[in-house]
Amino acid sequence: MAEADPCHDSLAAKRPLSPHVSVYKPMLTMMMSFAHRITGAGLYLGVIMFALFFAGLALGPDAFALVAWITNSLIGRVIVFLLSWALLHHLLGGVRHALWDRGLYMDPEGRELAARATLGGGLALTLLLWIGSTLAG
């Protein structure tokens, strides 16, 4: 077994630690960053559900009836609603980051405005999508 290098250990002890999330005061932009990561991970579930939907379609009427029954249940509709919100929120978060990459809205007021627009826009677009799909039948 290798011996510990005392020089390396002393250097490691002198290195500053990266601040943890608990050090920072919660801010809307920080929460939106968390939400962007969570919605991105949640979209993996959406892709799996989308693949199952198409698998049910490809496997025939009985399999599709089962998938449709699950999707049209209360829990299925809630999951699809949340996935549609996740998709739109994540999309707007990407637009926000693209604006930041171009140096726009980098001041404190601009960052706050972009974060609020991402949050409000995701909710508004989700509601408009569901209202429109309900009215369309």
**Tokens representing 72?**
């049209």
- Classify 28-136 by CATH class: mainly alpha
* CB burial of residue 97 (10 Å; 0-12, 13-18, 19+): middle
> Can you list the alpha helix ranges (DSSP code H) found in the chain?
6-14, 28-59, 61-72, 74-101, 108-136
Q: What is the pLDDT of residues 94-133, one digit of tens each?
A: 999 999 999 999 999 999 999 999 999 999 999 999 999 9
For the entire predicted model, the pTM comes to 0.78
Q: What does the pLDDT average to over 10-38?
A: 80
Domain ranges of the chain: 28-136
